[in-house]
Amino acid sequence: MAEFSLSLNDDQVTLRDWVHEFAEKVIRPAGEEWDEREETPWPILEEAAKAGIYSWEFLAQLAADPTGLSMPIVNEELFWGDAGIGLSIMGTGLAVSAISGQGTPEQIMTWVPECYGTPGDLRLGAFCVTEPNAGSDVSSLRTHATRDGDDWIINGTKVFITNGGIANVHVVVASVDSTLGARGHSSFIVAPGTPGLSMGKKERKHGIRASHTAEVVFDDVRVPSSCVMGGVERLDERLARARSGQRTGKQAAMSTFEATRPVVAAQAIGIARAAFEFALDYAKDRQQFKKAIIENQSIAFTLADMRTDIDAARLLVWRAAWMAANQVPFTAAEGSMSKLKAGETAVRVTERAVQILGGYGYIRDFPVERWVRDAKIYTIFEGTSEIQRLVIARALSGLHVE
C-alpha cells in the first residue's frame, strides 16, 4: 500500500507542470472558440494525441500510480484550461474505465486501444447509461439485450451521452433480465460500424459546449457474445446468483461511476481554480474609490472563502483517489463526498467570481461567464448532489435512506 502524502513526488510535479503548460498554451486560448462552435475540437484532440495526452498508454500510466494522485492532478490541470475541451479529451475515459474495470483481458487488449486510435486517425469512446426515464434511478433502464444464439440483440435509447453517436466504440448498459432490476444489467461493447446504432438528437447545452453530447439509438443492434463485458459465463453465473437470492456484487453502471467520481471531482476543482485565480488578479487590478477592490473586506473575505473551499475539496479528492488506488473501502462513501464537495464548490466559486467582476463577469469578453456555465454540470452528471448525499447518508447510517 502506498503511503498517503500531501507532498507530490518529483514525477508528479513534472507531470502537473507539463500538463499545465499544455492547458495554458493549447487549451485555454481555444476555449472561447469551441464553446461558441459547440463542436468537438478535433484540432485540439490531435494536439493532445501528438503530445501523448490523448492515448490509452497515458491513461494507463496515470492509473498505475500507486498513490492514485496522478489522475486527479492531470484532470484538474486540463479543466483549468477549459472544461468543454477537457471533457472532449477525457470523455473517452468513461468507456475505457468500464472496459478496464469489467472486461476480460482479451476485451481490454482489443477495445481500449480502439477507443483512442493514433495521431492522424483518432477514435472516440462513449459510455451509454442514462435514458429518458432512467437518470438517477439507474435500476429503471429500459434498454434491453436479448440473447439470440451466440449473439445479443440490443434495443433502446440512451440520452445525454458524451461522444454519443460519433464514438467508434460504444459501451452500453442494458437489461438482460428485467425481473431482477439493477442486478439484471450487463454491459456490452458495440464495435464501430455496427448496423442499427445511430445518433439521435445532439444536445445544445448550457455549458461544456465543446464536448459532444447526444442521444444514441439502438435498433436491433446485434453484437457477438465476445462483446458481453466480462464474458457470457460470468454473466450467467451472476444472473443465477441473483435469481437464487444471493449477492451479485455491484451493478454495471455504478461500479464505473464509483471509480470515476474522484476524477470528475478533480475536473470541477480545475474550473473553480481557474475562476478563483482570475477573480483574484482582477480584484488586485480593479480600482474603485481610489483603491484596489481587494482592499475591501467584502471582496477579500470572499476570495479567502473561495480558496479555502477549493483546497478543502482537493483534499477530499486526493483522499478518495488514494483510497481507490489502494483498495481501501469507501466505508463512508468518500468518493461521493469528494464529488459532492467539489461540484458544489465549483458552482459557488464561479458564481462569486462573476460577482467580483460585476458587469464584466456577465459578458463574454471575460471567461468567468463561461466557467460558471461549465461548473453547473458538476452538481448534475455522474450522480447529482442529491444522489451523492443519499449515498453518503446510507453509508453512514447503514439504513436504506430514501
Q: Which of 329, 332, 342 is nearest to 381 (CA)?
A: 342
Catalytic residue (choose from 47, 215, 334, 382): 382
Q: Coil, helix or strand for 52?
A: coil
Alpha-carbon distance of 235 to 240, in angstroms, equals 9
Alpha-carbon distance of 355 to 299, in angstroms, equals 9
Phi, psi of 384 (to 5 degrees): -65, 165
* End-to-end Cα spacing for the chain: 36
Pairing of strands 287-288, 291-292: antiparallel
* CB neighbour list of residue 160: distance below 8 Å, 6 or more residues apart: 130, 203, 213, 381
Alpha-carbon distance of 345 to 379, in angstroms, equals 9
- Beta partners for residue 162, in sequence order: 213
Q: What DSSP element (H or E) covers 218?
A: strand 213-224
Q: Which of 12, 14, 126, 35 is nearest to 81 (CA)?
A: 35
Active site residue 382: yes
**Length of the chain measured in residues:** 402
Phi, psi of 228 (to 5 degrees): -75, 120
Phi, psi of 89 (to 5 degrees): -75, -40
Which residues are catalytic, by number?
382
